Structures are given as structure tokens and as C-alpha cells.
Structure 1
Amino acid sequence: MSHAHPTLHAEHAPAPPVPCRWLLLALLCVAQFMLILDVTVVNVALPDMAADLRLGREALTWAVTAYTLCFGGLMLLGGRLADALGAHRTVLAGLAVFTSASLVTGLATGAPMLMSGRGLQGVGAALLSPAALSIVTTSFDGAERNKALGVWAALGGTGSAAGVLLGGALADGPGWRWVFFVNVPVGAVALAVLPALLPRRAAQRARLDLPGAALVTAGTASLIYGLVRAGDAGWASATAVLPLLGALVLYAAFAAVERAGRAPLMDLRMFTRRPVVAGAFLMLVATALLIGFFFLGSVYLQHLRGYSPLATGLVFLPVAVATGFGAHLGSQLVGRIGSRTTAVAGLAATTAGTAPLAWLPADGSVYTRLLPGLALASLGIGAVFVTAIITALALVAPQEAGLASGVVNTFHEVGGSIGVAVLSTVAASGIEHGAADGFTSAFTLSAITAAASALIALVLVPHTKPQSTGGPHAH
């Protein structure tokens, strides 16, 4: 392995190899793995957390969404900070924030400390993820780069699968707090080793759009707050309507700031590119449904069916594996039958899997009623995930791939937040009172959403056969 000193290089010039780059990739993948894990790991531990900290449905919903909200809302700013400060500094700062926040969350004594810790974890993740991907992309060339990015992309499915299993094992064993504590030693080791391995590339002059980042995050927080309140106070109540209207005002302000800014966080012209709009839409729907399913299923199995956290994790393992298999299948199909056909087929499979759950009983075998439907739905969602990424990245100019990737990744995290908020609200009666009807209403809405999205995809998604690219990947 060459030990040439890494230097900043032009886009297409061959770069001197980064020393120990495969070890660097392994450590950055471990860090990214923790970030993905923390989206799903918490779901299985929710009922134990609720009992221990006396959390209601609203607080439980925020335990999931506070993380994805800050992760998604601040991810584009994290990418800009990596340019302005240097990716190596941003990775270390993000890892330090995430690790510290994991400790705070594990030590939580009530809802405020839990929410603050989860939000800070999201801030750390938003700094770490785009900077780490940037380092992976620039540390490898040619076939090596494609291999490295393939490893990075594969983390998504395995992270979700490991999250539900690890969450169940830890909540059943040492207790739910270890769902967060487990990040601390891993983060500490990575912080000790990474400074010696990270290539130091010169920071670029980059303007930071702080107002844009604040507005888009506040808008999404207001939207989620309104959606969650509607579950308790009703859709017509002031506490639901005012935050929802506030979200529209904040989003409009965000659009105005982005149009007027000299260095906008999100280039709104990307939304005139049909592939990017299609990719963002597919990513939003797929993540909303998948993370919503993990949330709903976990509470249903533990609240209503009396399953332990580990047993719940084991039920979800085939679901997570099906998502990964669907992603693999989708990546093969997009090049053969086209983006539109793959997206519509994936959403049709999701509809077919979710529809029977509209009649989910309060008893009977979970393995014959709940599991087959969720596994089929997740297989379809996996295919939609990959279609979203490939469509957005393969069909835009190479110099716009980074911008497109940022848009799709943002919709990935925000979709998870919105999905959990909406499905938690629709299932409110089931979650609060342990009744099956709340859960069946939420699954009915999921089936309708998947079916409607399939119809929209017929019109919106381009009918082309892009080849899977070696560009940046969503997780």
C-alpha cells in the first residue's frame, strides 16, 4: 500500500492513493453504521422507555423523529461545513457530538433530556454523514471507488436489520439505555484512531446558509408537531392547525431565502429536474412507510401482543432482510425494465403486502398475519429506495450529482420523521388504549398511500433505463 502524501486533486486527475484507505473506509463505515442503526434501534426499545420514563404517545413519537428531523434538516448544512472547514474536521466534530449525545440520551431521566439527546445525536449525524461520504469518494479512484461506495450503500439495509435485532437484545438484556450507551465505546475508539488516518485536504471557501438550515428544520419540526398534536386534540384543533400553517409559512420563507441567497443550501432549480423530483418523491414515500412500519409494528407487538423486545426484533429481522433483498432486486431491474416500471412494481408490492394488515386482529399468529404482509411490503420498498437513488443520480449531469444526492438524502430522513408522526397520530387510540382498531386504521392509510404513490409514479418517474452509478449513495 503506497504511503504517498494525500493532496487535493482535480475532479478527474488520478489522486495519489490515501494511505491505509481500506482501514479508513472500515472505520468510517462503522461510524455511518451507528448513525443508521440509531434510526431503527430505538423502535424496539420504545415500550420499555415509555414505562421507565412515563412517556406518552407524543413523547414516544418524538423519541424517533427528533433524531431523523435534525439529521435530515441539517444534512445539507453539514455538507457545506465539510467544504468550509475541511471534511476531516467535520467528521471528527460530528462523531464527537454524536458520541456525547448518545451518552446524554442513555442517561435520560425524563422526556426533555431524552428529546434533547436524540436531537443532538441528529446534529452529530448531519455533520458526520456527508463529510464521511465525501472522504470515501475522494480517497478512492476508478474501480476501487465503485467498490468502496458499494460497501457504503450496503450499510443501509444491514443497519436497519441490525438495529431491530440489537435494539431487542439490548432492551431485553442490560436495558433500553444500552441502546444508546453502546455507541459510546465505539465512538471513543473511532475518535482515537481516525485523526491519524483522515486525509487532510484544504478547506474551500464556502458560504454557510444558516438561515436556510434553520428555516427548513423549524418548518419540518412545526409540521411534525402539528401532525402529532392532531392525534390527541383532533385535526381541527388550534394546537394542530396553527403549527401546520406555521410549517407552510416557514417553508415559504425557506424557498424565498434560497432563491435570494448567493450560496443557497438547496438549489431550488434542482426541482425543475424531473429525475430529481421523482427520486425525492420516491425516497420520501419509501422511508415514511418503512420507518412508520417499524414504529407501528414494534408498539403493536409489545403493547397489544405482549412480545418481549428481543422477540419483536426477531419478528422484524425477515422484514429488514426483505428490504435489503428488494434493494438488490431493484438495482438489477432498473437497468433492465426502467425506473418507472421498477418504482410502480415496488409500490404495487408494498400495497399488496400492506392491504391485508387493514384487518389485523388483536390475536392469532403474528407469523401468519403480520409478518408475511410486512415482508412483502418491505421487499417493494427496498426496490423503490434503489430506484429513487439511481433515478436522481444517473439522469442528471455529473457535476449536479452531489446536489441531487443531498436533496434525496434530505428527503430520506425527513420522510422517516413524517411517516412516524402521521402513522402514530392515526394509530393514537391503539397506542394509548391497546386496541387493534388504531393499528388497522394506520395500516389502511399506509396501503392507500402506497397505491396512490404507484399511480403518481406512473406519471412522474421517467421511463428510462439508467445504469446504477458509482456516485454518492443515500443510506
Structure 2
Amino acid sequence: MDSTTSPDASEATTGHFGRTMTVTAIATFMVSLDQLVVTTALTKIREHLHTGLEGLEWTVNAYTLTFAVFLLTASALAERFGRRRLFVAGLVLFTASSAMAALAPGIGVLIAARAIQGLGSAIVLPLTLTLLSAAVPPSKRGAALGVWGGVGGLGVALGPVIGGFITESASWQWIFWLNVPIGAVLIVLSSAWLTESFGPAAKLDLVGTVLASVGLLGVVVSIIRGDAEGWTSAQTLGSGIGGLVVLAAFVAWELRTPHPMLPMRLFAGRAFTTVNLLSLFMFFGMFGSIFLITQYLQAALGYSPFAAGLRFLAWTGVVLIAAPLGGGLSDKIGGKPIIVAGLVLQSVGLLWLALSITTGSSFLSLVPAFVCNGFGMGLYFGPAGNVVMGSVRREEEGIASGANNAIRELGGVFGVAVLAAVFAGHGGYDSREHYVHGMHVALWVGFAFVALGAVTALLMPRQGRVAVPEAESATATREARTAVAVGE
């Protein structure tokens, strides 16, 4: 067979790659944007829908919880029923739920819409990477994945800015309306431009998905309702204990089922277990703190939503600078020292804020702490991903990455729930002084978790990729190439 490629074939391949890159990049930006776009609109949502702290917590956590729980299941469904088909279905869910959120007459409908948005994101986001990897020529794969990561990071960084600008210039509903025309165009383009492909026909772990969903929901409900209902009330204790029992049943099921959603064998390796524990600690402390700090800029310092979003770029924008630096350094000196440095910087940043924030703080006095937190987060992301991938066999990379993403998202869910509960127990929205006092106590909790992560990181082994026999690795590579090529 002639190894050369005709000009027409080359142009067709380039065109297919370009179309796939366009669709996946726009989808990645849209979904990533929604991770933080709502943060600078929380104050306006609280005023307009007459809700309290619990409603705001669910507005954030409903999205993150469904995203985390269904991430692995959605990926498995796509492998079996078709990646393009599930990608389009995820876009439909995300777009329809965005319209539902924009039309929400009350906080209950908004929370339900955010939960459906999270499900749509759980389908769309991992598939953007899968579809792009299948379409890109091997010689351009590194650059393409770099663009993919940069677009996702840009969406997260600009979320508070765009959310603040839209909330201030129009209304908070338009942060959701914005998704509707973009999503509609993506649905049409995806159907026309993307090529269908399938993966191995693995069995779905529906029992595991139900157990994980019910268990996590029970624990989160217990934390969020604890302050209002009382921490020793039958509802709080029943929900919390029931959730923990169901989660224990989930672990037991995953250990015995032949097709687990989350293979427990991965946690036999110390590197994989440690880096996932670090992700849980880091996202717990950082995202719980971000939930309160973005509101502090408006509730205590009096900034408008857009002004607050712009100032928060001192935090999120620095992540974009530090992330490639951390990844490059980890290739030279290993991931462990960079991860430790990133967590230490985040600990210092949160400690700085806990010690210095007042009702009369100037923004300039907060900048060093914001930069410290952003730089530490950026240093952490790249090396942590490398450690996850390097601690498992190559054929397990997909499930390992999905597990790490799910665990860190759950860390964010619990961080928002716990730090908001601490804030509610020591502060409130009735005055600036009361808000700052409650936030001080909550920030100390956030600092403690991130600092615990920094100490735990010292226990992480210096480890390269898990050794795989050459024949086994070659077989896995052939199987992977065959899987992504089906239907093309």
C-alpha cells in the first residue's frame, strides 16, 4: 500500500481537523465558562429571587455535583452509543437547561436547571478532548491539545468577568441566555461536521452510578441543611448518615462488580491515591473560599459585578500564566516538588486573606494574596495531571483522568457546602461586619485543608509511568487507534 497521501486526502484530513477543532474549542469555552460565570452574579441572584445562603450554595453545587457524579458514566455511554451522538445530546441538554435557568421564576427552578446543565457538561466536556484527539494528525496532536487546554483555562478565567459584565449591563438571566444561540449553532455544526466514532463496548455500571449519586446527594444535603435545621436534627443526621452508608455500599459494589464505574484497583498505587487526595483537599479549600470571596468583593467592598470580576482576574488570570510553567518544570524536575510548591503558595494566599481582610480593605492590599493563590493553582494543575497519568497503565489513562476530575469536582462541592455552613454559623448578609467575620472563620477552614494538602504532598512518591510490557503496550495502542477510527 502506498504510504504517501494524495493532496485531496490531505486537504480533506486538514479540513476535518479544522472543523473538529472549531466545534470542540467553542464547546470547551462555553462549558468551562459556566464553571465560574455564576459567581459574580450570586449577589444579584440572591436579591432578585429573594433567596438565602442555602439557595446560593445549591445554585453552585447542583451544577458541580451532577457534573462530577455523571462524568465517568457519560464517557462510558459515549463509547458504547457513539461519541458524536452523545456529544450532540449533551449540547441539547446544556442549551435547553440554560434557557430554563434564564426563565427560572424562583430559586428551585434555577437549581434544577443548573443540575441539568451539570449533566450536559459531564457529557460535553470530556468528549471535546476525545473527539479532538481522534481527528487531529499525530504530528499536530500536542499543539491541538495545548490549544484545547488553553481555551478551557481561558473560559474559567473569564467566567467571573463575563458574568459580572453581563449581570451589570443587562441582567443575571443573560449569563444563561448567552449559551442558547451558541449551543444551537454548535448542535447544527456538530451534526454536520463531526464524524461518528465508538470505543470498546464496555458494560455500564448503572448500580454504581445510582449509589454514588444518592450517597453524595445525602451527604451534601446534610451539610447544606445543617445550619438551618440543626446539626443534631433527625433530618440532618438521617441524611448525612444515610449518605455515608450508601457511599460505603458504593465502594463495596465497585470492589465486586466486573465492570466498575470507578475501578478501586487504581487506588492500590500510592501515587494515584495521594494525588487524588491532594485534589480533594485543594479544591475543597480553594473553591469554598472563591465562593465567599467573589461575594465579598461586592457585599463588603461595594464593587459592581463587572468590577468584581475584573479584579478577580488577579487570581484566575495568573493561573493561565503559571499552568504551562508548572507543566514544563515538572518534566525537568518531576511533579512532586512543583505540586508541593503550588499547595504551599495557595496556603500562604489563603492565610494572607484570613489575616488581612477587613470591611475597609483596598483591592491593592488583596492583590498579593490573589496572585499567590492563582500562581499556586496554576503550578498544581499540570504536574498533578502528569502524576495521575504516570501512575497508571496507558490503557487506564482515560478512566484515571475521569476519576481525578470527578474527585476534584466533588472536593469543590464539599468545599462550598462546608465553608458556607461555617460562614452561616459565624456571619451573614445583614451587615458588612457580619459578612467579614463569618468569612474570616471560613477562610481559616479553607486554609487548613489546603495546608493539609501541602503536608500530604510530601508523602507522594517520586514515580514515573507504570511499566507496561512492550507487547501489551503495543496491543493497547492498536486497540485505541481502532476504537477512535470506527465510523470514519
How high is the TM-score relative to the length of structure 1? 0.91
Q: In the TM superposition, what is the alpha-carbon distance from 1:30 to its structure 2 partner?
A: 1.1
In the aligned structure 2, how far is the partner of 1:374 from the partner of 1:228? 27
- CA deviation vs aligned residue, 1:94-124 (integer Å, no higher than 9, x gap): 0000000000011101111001100000111
2:28 and 2:152 in contact (8 A); partners too: no
Q: Which stretch shifts more, 29-38 or 282-291?
A: 282-291
Where does residue 427 of structure 2 map in the other structure? 430
Where does residue 8 of structure 1 map in the other structure? none
In the aligned structure 2, how far is the partner of 1:185 from the partner of 1:451? 43
Q: Secondary structure at the match of 1:336?
A: helix
Identical positions, percent: 34
2:286 and 2:446 in contact (8 A); partners too: no
Where does residue 452 of structure 2 map in the other structure? 452
Q: Which stretch shifts more, 243-252 or 356-365?
A: 356-365
Q: Quick check: 1:290 aligned with 2:290? A: no
Q: In the TM superposition, what is the alpha-carbon distance from 1:57 to its structure 2 partner?
A: 0.4
In the aligned structure 2, how far is the partner of 1:79 from the partner of 1:18? 26
In the aligned structure 2, how far is the partner of 1:225 from the partner of 1:330? 36
Q: 2:47 aligns with which of 20, 44, 51?
A: 51
In the aligned structure 2, how far is the partner of 1:347 from the partner of 1:439? 21
Q: In the TM superposition, what is the alpha-carbon distance from 1:225 to its structure 2 partner?
A: 1.3
In the aligned structure 2, how far is the partner of 1:289 from the partner of 1:361? 17
**Number of equivalenced pairs:** 458
Q: 1:251 aligns with which of 228, 238, 247?
A: 247
- CA deviation vs aligned residue, 1:265-297 (integer Å, no higher than 9, x gap): 111111112232223222223323332232111
Q: Secondary structure at the match of 1:311?
A: helix
Q: In the TM superposition, what is the alpha-carbon distance from 1:147 to its structure 2 partner?
A: 1.5
Where does residue 130 of structure 1 map in the other structure? 126
Q: Which stretch shifts more, 289-298 or 361-370?
A: 361-370
Q: In the TM superposition, what is the alpha-carbon distance from 1:159 to its structure 2 partner?
A: 1.5
Gaps of 5+ in 1: 6-15
Runs of at least 4 residues off by over 6 Å: none
1:426 alignment partner AA: V
Where does residue 400 of structure 1 map in the other structure? 396
2:386 alignment partner AA: I
Q: Secondary structure at the match of 2:38?
A: helix
In the aligned structure 2, how far is the partner of 1:4 from the partner of 1:200? 19
Q: 1:121 aligns with which of 117, 142, 151?
A: 117
Larger Rg: 2
Q: Which stretch shifts more, 336-345 or 103-112?
A: 336-345
In the aligned structure 2, how far is the partner of 1:123 from the partner of 1:94? 8
Q: 1:342 aligns with which of 338, 343, 347?
A: 338
1:305 and 1:362 in contact (8 A); partners too: no
In the aligned structure 2, how far is the partner of 1:328 from the partner of 1:465? 20
Aligned-pair RMSD on alpha carbons?
2.3
Where does residue 486 of structure 2 map in the other structure? none
Q: Quick check: 1:67 aligned with 2:66? A: no
Q: Quick check: 1:442 aligned with 2:442? A: yes
Q: Which stretch shifts more, 245-254 or 196-205?
A: 196-205
Q: In the TM superposition, what is the alpha-carbon distance from 1:2 to its structure 2 partner?
A: 6.5
Q: Aligned ranges for residues 311-460 of structure 1 at < 5 Å?
A: 311-428=307-424, 429-434=426-431, 435=434, 436-459=436-459
Gaps of 5+ in 2: 1-5, 467-476, 481-488
In the aligned structure 2, how far is the partner of 1:62 from the partner of 1:295? 12
Q: 1:18 to 1:394 in 2, by over 3 A?
A: farther
How high is the TM-score relative to the length of structure 2? 0.89
2:444 alignment partner AA: T
In the aligned structure 1, how far is the partner of 2:226 from the partner of 2:198? 49
Where does residue 470 of structure 2 map in the other structure? none
Q: Secondary structure at the match of 2:201?
A: coil
Q: 1:368 to 1:252 in 2, by over 3 A?
A: same
Q: Secondary structure at the match of 1:307?
A: coil
2:390 and 2:464 in contact (8 A); partners too: no
Where does residue 188 of structure 1 map in the other structure? 184
Q: In the TM superposition, what is the alpha-carbon distance from 1:313 to its structure 2 partner?
A: 0.3
Q: 1:210 to 1:371 in 2, by over 3 A?
A: same
